[in-house]
A and B are shown apart, each in its own frame.
Chain A
Amino acid sequence: MDLLYLAGSLAGVLALVGLNVLLLGRAHMRLSPETAVARLKQDMPGFAPGAAAVSADGQAALIENARDGAPWLVEVKGDGLVTRNLKRDGLRGTARDGARLALALADFTLPRVRLELADAAAAQAWQAKLQGA
């Protein structure tokens, strides 16, 4: 294995990713409450949607499971979704600035999530809900 081989392989990776963008474009997914709920119902059979809030940029949502009150996070990742049970999966803390809510998670691949909710009151209500979870 020489440096030329490694450099050639990396160039090949770049070329293939470039071709992917050229042929198929980039993902521009925006979450709706319906999409988020549909995904949670797949991940957690019996999930019963309660209160929900989608970030203004459509990249993340908070949804409560009415069955047990657990708040769930749904986040867009590429053209896929990532879900976390914030009651169980280690929410480290929250910070709020007006309508903006920042979540810190004990999660190596998803340490931080930022949402901009409808208004400061909504963000405050969700922060209280998350802190109580």
Chain B
Amino acid sequence: MQLPNVIALATPLFILFVVLEMIAARLWRKATFEPWDTATSLLMGFGSTVAGGIFAFVFVGFAALLQPFAIADLGWSIPVFVVCFVLDDIVYYWWHRASHRVRWLWADHVQHHSSQHYNLSTALRQPWTGAFTPGMIIRAPLILVGFPLPMIAFVHGLNLVYQFWIHTEIVKKCPRWFEAVMNTPSHHRVHHATNARYLDSNYAGVFIIWDRMFGTFVAEDESDKPRYGIVKNLGSFNPLKVALHEWLGIAKDIARARGARDVLLYLFAPPGWTPDGSRDTTATIKARWQAFEAARNLAE
């Protein structure tokens, strides 16, 4: 069955909504844009499309390699589509969680988080280097269970298209039932925030229920407005530097590693891990913040 490329189909709408959000920012100051930041985000999106075209063979090859080992052929029907969509979203949750906790995956995903702004152009700030991570292994179960490959690609495209609209500060809160079940701008602002209380939370793609189930949900606190970006923000808007900075950091660390154990941990431990603990991980940042808050509360 031939299915459309939903991301390509949605691209004109992405552009239209970025323009509308800029107009809203001009009229009501409810969003912020900075030209260099916008240019970087859009060029990252452009580069991601190019990289996706160049390295598509990696993903296609991986899927083709696995497909003969599928335990069933689930075929094409509406219920199978629905189940595939939901399972793809669970897989997305775990891929996304791993992308924040495993430095090799973070080297790719950090590119999406590198903006200090949170607007619809940030949604288009997509990484270039996914083909060089083991992230596709996390998606393998969908292939092995027997969903058709075009169906997996299609529902994954839908998942990503859904995530476009949640990259905005204009929408404050959605109806309560919607906030309870679905990923929303409020939940995803928390995910993009660098405030210590918000780190490593809200990994959902479409359904926020996975975060609630697996203990990673954090609600947006109106008294602690999200600050966006990464804990060590980048000193450049150059898309090449955005795409490569963490890869270079890993390469430098591995070159200086004292043994195989350190090499493995530089790749698979959380970002910021070092043998001597001289850098911050999200765990140390949270611990420092909690200690500071506790001391402040005692003083009050």
Instruction: Tell me whether A110 and B236 are in contact (CB under 8 A).
Output: yes
Contact status of A1 and B292, CB under 8 A, knowing A77-B235, A80-B116, A80-B233: no
Instruction: Tell me whether A109 and B234 are in contact (CB under 8 A).
Output: yes
What 0/1 pattern do residues 1 to 27 of A give for CB contact below 8 A with B?
100001001101100110111011011
What 0/1 pattern do residues 218 to 255 of B give for CB contact below 8 A with A?
00000000010101111111100110110011000000
Report the separation of the CA atoms of residues A43 and B231 in the bound assembly, to the nearest whole angstrom. Answer: 8
Contact status of A79 and B32, CB under 8 A, knowing A23-B23, A110-B235: yes
B277 CB to nearest A CB, Å: 12
B202 in the interface (beta carbon within 8 A): no
At the interface with chain A, which of B39-47, B89-97, B152-160, B162-170?
A: B39-47
Chain B binding surface SS class: helix
At the interface with chain A, which of B14-22, B69-77, B174-182?
A: B14-22
The tally of residues in A whose CB lies under 8 Å from a CB in B reads 34
B281 CB to nearest A CB, Å: 14
Instruction: Tell me whether B288 and A82 are in contact (CB under 8 A).
Output: no
Q: Given the complex, which residues of A lie within 8 Å of B279, measured CB to CB?
A: 88
Contact status of A82 and B34, CB under 8 A, knowing A19-B19, A46-B288: no
Closest residue to A17 on the B side, CB-wise? B39
What 0/1 pattern do residues 39 to 75 of A give for CB contact below 8 A with B?
0001101100000000000000000000000000001
Residues in chain A within 8 A of chain B (CB atoms): 1, 6, 9-10, 12-13, 16-17, 19-21, 23-24, 26-27, 42-43, 45-46, 75, 77-84, 88-89, 107-110
Residues in chain B within 8 A of chain A (CB atoms): 15, 18-19, 22-23, 25-26, 32-39, 42-43, 46, 49-50, 53, 116-117, 121, 195-196, 227, 229, 231-238, 241-242, 244-245, 248-249, 278-279, 288-289, 292-293
Given contacts A17-B38, A23-B23, 7 further A-B contacts (CB under 8 A): A16-B42, A20-B35, A23-B22, A42-B195, A46-B288, A79-B34, A108-B249
